[in-house]
Amino acid sequence: MTLLVTVFAAIVSTILWYQKENRKELRLGTLSLMYWGASIMWFVDAIFEYAELHAAYFTPDPMDMLNDLFLGLSVVAFGLIIWLVILLIQDPKKIVRNAILNQ
């Protein structure tokens, strides 16, 4: 489930990166790469878990699926937080800088 959630986030962020004119300004490539990296990490984890469990891998408990869903959503939320911090630090439109200087 974590793999599914992060792959969807990676696909959505890649589509946004591809369509937006100001992709460099918004650092959408960074967001996309974070989610693709997380997807690769979960994919490798799934391979090793399948090697351990074999057929039982495809019949998880509902509670395990719910926990994996929450973990996947937490990874997506944490990625968005990191992306927002990067945007605030780099401040490409100088909005934060102007707000601080005007006080």
Helices and strands (H, E) in the chain, number of each type? 5, 0
**Above 90 in pLDDT, residue 1?**
no
Please give the pLDDT value at position 38. Answer: 94
Amino acid at 22: N
Per residue in 46-86, pLDDT (tens digit) is 899 889 888 777 788 899 889 999 999 999 999 999 999 99
**Whole-number Å distance between alpha carbons of 78 and 81:** 5
Please give the pLDDT value at position 59. Answer: 81
Q: The pTM is what?
A: 0.81
Which two structure tokens, joined as six digits, stand for 2? 């974590």
Please give the pLDDT value at position 102. Answer: 82
The CA-based dihedral angle spanning residues 36, 17, 76, 50, taken in that order and rounded to the nearest 10 degrees? -20
